[in-house]
Structure 1
Amino acid sequence: MTTNINTEMSNLAATPLTGQRMERDNRPGNWFEAFADAWGKALDNQAAVIEQKSDGIANQGGDNPSQITMLTAELMKMSFLSNSSHTSLDSVSKALETMARKG
């Protein structure tokens, strides 16, 4: 089952994230770490999809154009997710930095 960043973020939003609770559950210690963790899980899930499709092509003789095209689509999705995670984490970290300077 593929989990996307929206699902991960919804799950995080549904449960209050306090330092003690996260430490007890081996979760990140603050919301920024939880945000990064959600992106990491989404990227891990997409990597698993790519690995599965790659194995199908390599080990099951599925090297036909339609399967290669689907693998390419999954790789492009991974690229999009990776770029989006970097951009969003960078933007949030810069906002936190700005807030810290003003505080």
Structure 2
Amino acid sequence: MSNINNLNPRLNMLGVDALTQANNGVGANGRRTVDEKEASSWFEAMAGAWGKALDQQAATIASMSEQLSAGGDTPSTMVKLSAESMRMQFMSNSAATSNNSVGQALETLGRKQ
């Protein structure tokens, strides 16, 4: 398992240190990672890490939306919610792109062997 981070530097930009997770089960940000029982390959572990990052971002957005619904509808709160939603969109696109790219690379490797 070479340096997974070289495959897609966006993983590091989002705080998902896949290599650290694969080595010791705890990401750079201290969150629990996908363990061997949950993933049979590093590709599954990477997808699981993306899923957990997206879940956490979705929870942040939901929390901010509840705050907005509870009467905290100030312009600053709305701008923060908008920024977090844009971050979710970026993360989602990055997750799909990296999973597709790695999947295609693995498919190509499989054909060459």
- Same fold by TM (over 0.5)? yes
Distance (whole Å) between structure 1 residues aligned to residue 104 and residue 22 of structure 2: 22
Distance (whole Å) between structure 2 residues aligned to residue 74 and residue 58 of structure 1: 16
The letter of the residue matching 1:49 is T
Higher-Rg structure is 1
Q: Which runs of 5+ in 1 are unaligned?
A: none
Distance (whole Å) between structure 1 residues aligned to residue 108 and residue 23 of structure 2: 27
Q: Which runs of 5+ in 2 are unaligned?
A: 1-12, 26-34
- Give the number of aligned pairs: 92
| Pair 1:57 & 2:68 matched | yes
Deviations 1:19-74 (A, max 9, x none): xx712xxx211110000000000000000100110000002x11111100000000
Residue aligning to 2:102: 92
Query: TM-score of the superposition, structure 2-length normalised?
Result: 0.74
Which of residues 26, 36, 44 is equivalent to 1:22? Answer: 36
Deviation, structure 1 residue 14: 2.4
Distance (whole Å) between structure 2 residues aligned to residue 76 and residue 11 of structure 1: 27
Distance (whole Å) between structure 2 residues aligned to residue 36 and residue 51 of structure 1: 22
Larger RCO of the pair (alpha carbons < 8 Å, separation 6+) = 1
Residue aligning to 1:45: 56
Alignment of 1:76-87 (within 5 A): 76-87=86-97
